Structure 1
Amino acid sequence: MVLNQQQNSDMIFDDSTSKVLNEVVITTIPEARNDDLPHSLDVTRGGAVEASSYGDNNIDGFLQRHGIGVRSIERVFVPTKVAQENSLGTTISAEYDEDEHQKGFSRSYKIVFESDIYVERLCDELKKSNAIEDASPNFLSEICKTPNDSLYTNQWGPKIIDSEEAWDIETGHDDVIIAIIDTGVDLTHQDLKSKLLPGYDFVNLVGSQYGWDHKYGPYTAIGDYRTRDNNPSDENGHGTHCAGVAAAVSNNQTGITGMCWAGKILPVRVMYKIQFTRYKDFYNGIGSSTDIAQGIKYAADQNADVISMSLGGPPFPPPAQQKAVKYAYDKGVCLIAANGNNGTSQASYPGAFDQTLAVGAVDHNKNRASFSQYGPNFGKFVMAPGVQIVSTYLNNQYVKMSGTSMATPHVAGLAALIISVAKRNKKTPSVEDVYSIIRDTATKQPGQTETFYGQGLVNAKAALEAAKKKFGS
């Protein structure tokens, strides 16, 4: 079995899917768990300690037999006890609880190799080991937007979903938390800073120094893409834009109005900025499955009510993300995710997970944007404004962008408003309560089919009326 990367192989994964070269993600069986390996914020062992072996003869022996050198191994997920500390930078190592052991969080590891390998073939072989439950590449996801940097002063999005009437019912509870899992947030923006919680930066693409495997070819990483820290500052602008749509400071005679006026924004940085080698003017934002999965679990452990994910990855579920999404859902967190922007019916994760509410984009005429993905892979998805949306941007700017990325935070903000109605009436809504209200009050125009429009365009007024009826007052 040849595992070095010198010839084509029979892929068990779609070879066109973007992924980090020379990295795999494994989950071991409980008996093969190695408690001596660190997680990424284990400061007692220097953070991401570069262990050169796993510590299990089945796994290490396999790699040695095939002549594969290991650069580093670390646990993918941070224990809940660490994530809930106020100051992660000074937190000592904490143990995983029994629930985290059972769900595989303590048994999920990212392995970075010293040389080029066939990641797909290696995963296929690793899964034959009695010590391993699952093995997959560390897939790449990218932000779901089409940028346009022209300034735009008219917010049409909230108006076509009846937000003005909705705000007469509820503008947001002070205790509601929306996590923006994205490229970070501009921490000094005038329309955001007063609402920001500390947050965290999970970007750490160790294996990227060996090159990247992306559908658009090689690229250059820009800025902060290696070191995790407690500074989730945005270098791209995408996360800042999404944060503004969801929950910019409102009714303050400055800038724009967010969907949810009150509450807090939790910035979670999992994506970073890149420039493609072949297309010098083409910038984008990407992040690995493991970093995104850590961000999701962290947001849930920080008691986020809503997680907004304006990003999309492979057309099949990355195992690490799947664990994290289910964990957040089971904790009662609403997960709102973009359908994606390739204009086809192809699945895109995390939007296609059963536990998420997927969102497509419409234009100002309430018609599906041509780039918006659609179809049954996204379950009972909904639509929201996503073309030429004005929102916050880097350096106190306001720009307009298009994409399912922009549609997603409209729905995340609406979910926060529904939860606010429940909180104000001392109720705790289930995730499905919130999803059902949003879906059941969405509407389609004549001729708009479920295939292309899902349950239809969200209606904020109708949703809050339904929430008020369900939760009292």
Structure 2
Amino acid sequence: MTFYKTKLINMKTFWTIFLLFLTHFIFAQTNQKETNSDLQYIPNEYVIQLEPTADASVFFQKIKKEFNESGIIFQKEKSLFKDLNVFLLKSKTEVKDVNRLLRRLDYFSEVKRVGQNFQIQQREKIPNDPLFINQWDMEIIHAPEVWEVTTGGVTALGDTIVVAMMESGDWQHDDLIGNVWINWGEVNNDGIDNDGNGYVDDFFGWNVVDSSDVIGFWGGTHGTRVGGIIGAKGDNNIGLSGVNWNVKIMWVHNDLTISKIIESYQYVYQNRKLYNDTNGEKGAFVVTTNASFGIDGDSSTYPDGLQLEDNPLFPMWCDMHEMLGGVGILNVGATANKSIDVDVIGDMPSICPTDHLIVVAENDKMDKLSSGYGKINVDLTAPGDGSPTTTLNNLYETIGSTSGATPHVSGGIALLYSLPCEKLAREARENPAATSLRMKKFILDGVDKIAEQSNKTVSGGRLNLEKSMQLIFGYCGTETGILKINRLSPNPAESYIDVAFTPNEFGKYTIRIYNTIGQLMYDDEYIAEDFLPASFRLEGMDRFRTGLYFLTISNNLDFTTE
């Protein structure tokens, strides 16, 4: 393996080095295109890095002339990474002895590294849950690609991510119990409001019907099925996987009366507000609510279509979304299941005039819109149409309609908050309302555009969590800086790397390695005792596959250094 330094696009407070792992295995390949579990080598294509002082145009003219005499004709080189002096070199003629060619190229003093080009295999993280094979819905929203980076749980700063489930369900299901939110600020059944959130003994969530934490099954299997989409425990060898393998679901039992719905939102609001006010010591870091329910606008009750003015409680319902958004909660609601234009016919909560609400329509396996729609009031589609999920008595069944579509989005929001982006996590603490809206933009801007939906929803597309993840990584790394590392050794690397750098202050530094698509491969800490040059060793580097990696050294200061 070989490591080298470069100038790269860089996050705030981060020193970054670009790492190239090139094992000697590369140099021992033939010119044939080989297929195995690791690499597919590309015939007659070579990646070459020149020394920083080398004149590329002079060098390539020289080797083309020299190799032409031995029957190897090179095409014009292509710059791959200007600041690294890396190029792609192709041969027009068949190279019979690749090893000899590489040795000859490596002999030139201008050459720093050279190897045969190869194709990296696609990667997906697939859970071992036996029913995952049936979960077409997770594939269509590209959840497995995000699972390669994160499977949920906590933010980059360690905040435990919570989804508020606005109905009852069987949270003791074997595939749900591991992800139930527990209010550790309470002493269970002591008759005291220990955490001061206004609720006595709300240890397992809250039942607004009987003012207890006993979560029942009002509404039959519906809540359990919705909850399984959000967070059925993943990779546990049973059942299936939710959008999050790891997340905390706050169950809020209600009877779907508007009064109890508003009361339910109040409970969620109080807990996130308390979390914000106490810097995470109490309450819950609720990032989203899921409401797979609503009121159709085409009923006989509203012959002219449903409007906010039709009922004074409708605006109150909408105000709750606005209130929750103010403390950092992005609400997700289901639109009508009937194929109607809710911009014309109306629907609750679809027509609530708040930015802190995402309204979800349903698409089927073929990305066909199969529910209500609205260019103004419906934001995007997500899969429903028989999505596999949990149900009562430790069993499994499916859920469809917008009830099934909505938790894919709320679950997706929670999953994206767990990405390794300290900037996003810090903003969620310091500017929760703005971060909620930013997350909405990541969701809507990341959709797969569907032609049929272009004039039917705000975004014109279907949820794609991988694209939203890419947008978040772009947001995380927006500043440019020049890296200066004091020492990297050995070079070529072996099973370890020794890194030397100069701290900007004493204290804790986070050491992380990412691959080229942002997956966290290594995570550790280093304590610098003073401002003098410091060093540390990273062990286990031989477990990495051949490829490109980024090493980051970060602390909490807002600056870029050389």
Taking structure 1 as the reference length, what is the TM-score of the superposition?
A: 0.56
Deviations 1:332-391 (A, max 9, x none): 10101111212211332223322310111101011111xx11113515x01100101110
Query: Which amino acid in 1 is paired with 2:216?
Result: S
Deviations 1:23-51 (A, max 9, x none): xxxxxxxxxxxxxxxxxxxxxxxxxxxxx
Q: 1:348 to 1:152 in 2, by over 3 A?
A: farther
Query: Which amino acid in 2 is paired with 1:190?
Result: D
Deviations 1:180-229 (A, max 9, x none): 102x02031000012112111123xxxxxxxxxxxxxxxxxxxxxxx343
Structure 1 stretches lacking a partner, 5+ long: 1-150, 204-226, 272-286
Query: Which amino acid in 2 is paired with 1:433?
Result: R
Aligned counterparts, 1:234-383, within 5 A: 234-235=217-218, 236-271=220-255, 287-303=256-272, 304-313=286-295, 315-317=306-308, 318-346=314-342, 347-353=346-352, 354=354, 355-369=356-370, 372-379=371-378, 381-383=379-381
Runs of 4+ in 1 over 6 A off after TM superposition: none
Identify the residue that residue 171 of structure 2 maps to in structure 1: 187
Contact 1:237 1:393 in 2 (8 A): yes
Identify the residue that residue 446 of structure 1 maps to in structure 2: 451
SS at match of 1:378: coil
Q: How much does 1:453 deviate?
A: 7.5
Contact 2:369 2:452 in 1 (8 A): no
Contact 1:384 1:411 in 2 (8 A): yes
SS at match of 1:337: strand
Q: How much does 1:424 deviate?
A: 5.1
Q: How much does 1:310 deviate?
A: 0.6
- Which is greater in Rg? 2
Identify the residue that residue 229 of structure 1 maps to in structure 2: 212
Distance 2:348 2:339 in 1: 15
Distance 2:458 2:397 in 1: 27
SS at match of 2:321: helix
Distance 1:393 1:192 in 2: 10
- RMSD over equivalenced CA pairs, Å: 2.1
SS at match of 2:175: coil
Distance 1:453 1:385 in 2: 17
Identify the residue that residue 403 of structure 1 maps to in structure 2: 401
Distance 2:419 2:206 in 1: 28
Contact 1:297 1:325 in 2 (8 A): no
Q: How much does 1:152 deviate?
A: 10
SS at match of 1:250: coil
Deviations 1:120-172 (A, max 9, x none): xxxxxxxxxxxxxxxxxxxxxxxxxxxxxxx9971110101111111112211
Contact 1:152 1:400 in 2 (8 A): no
Q: How much does 1:415 deviate?
A: 0.6
Query: Which amino acid in 2 is paired with 1:358?
Result: V
Query: Which amino acid in 2 is paired with 1:300?
Result: Y
Aligned counterparts, 1:5-154, within 5 A: 154=134
Query: Which amino acid in 2 is paired with 1:167?
Result: W
Q: How much does 1:247 deviate?
A: 1.1
Q: 1:193 to 1:384 in 2, by over 3 A?
A: same
Among candidates 432, 443, 467, match of residue 472 of structure 2: 467
Aligned counterparts, 1:147-162, within 5 A: 154-162=134-142
Contact 1:311 1:405 in 2 (8 A): yes
Among candidates 141, 154, 161, match of residue 176 of structure 1: 161
Q: How much does 1:309 deviate?
A: 0.8
Among candidates 205, 214, 217, match of residue 199 of structure 1: 205
Deviations 1:305-344 (A, max 9, x none): 1101111126334133123111101111010111121221
Distance 1:251 1:418 in 2: 18
Contact 2:294 2:336 in 1 (8 A): yes
Query: Which amino acid in 2 is paired with 1:186?
Result: D
Among candidates 387, 402, 405, match of residue 389 of structure 1: 387
Contact 1:201 1:229 in 2 (8 A): yes
Contact 1:311 1:337 in 2 (8 A): yes
Contact 1:442 1:456 in 2 (8 A): yes
SS at match of 1:359: strand
Higher share in strand: 2
SS at match of 1:376: coil
Identify the residue that residue 434 of structure 1 maps to in structure 2: 439
Identify the residue that residue 121 of structure 1 maps to in structure 2: none
Query: Which amino acid in 2 is paired with 1:232?
Result: I
Deviations 1:209-253 (A, max 9, x none): xxxxxxxxxxxxxxxxxx343212224111111111011111111
SS at match of 1:173: coil
Q: How much does 1:428 deviate?
A: 2.6
Q: How much does 1:261 deviate?
A: 1.7
Structure 2 stretches lacking a partner, 5+ long: 1-130, 155-159, 182-203, 273-285, 297-305, 309-313, 429-434, 478-517, 519-562
SS at match of 1:395: coil
Contact 1:297 1:327 in 2 (8 A): no
Q: 1:351 to 1:231 in 2, by over 3 A?
A: farther
Query: Which amino acid in 2 is paired with 1:397?
Result: L
Query: Which amino acid in 2 is paired with 1:158?
Result: M
Query: Which amino acid in 2 is paired with 1:265?
Result: I
Contact 1:361 1:386 in 2 (8 A): yes
SS at match of 1:432: helix
Q: 1:446 to 1:344 in 2, by over 3 A?
A: closer
Distance 2:393 2:234 in 1: 18
Distance 1:341 1:162 in 2: 24
SS at match of 2:263: helix
Distance 2:421 2:290 in 1: 20
Q: Number of residue pairs matched?
A: 281
Identify the residue that residue 146 of structure 2 maps to in structure 1: 166
Taking structure 2 as the reference length, what is the TM-score of the superposition?
A: 0.48
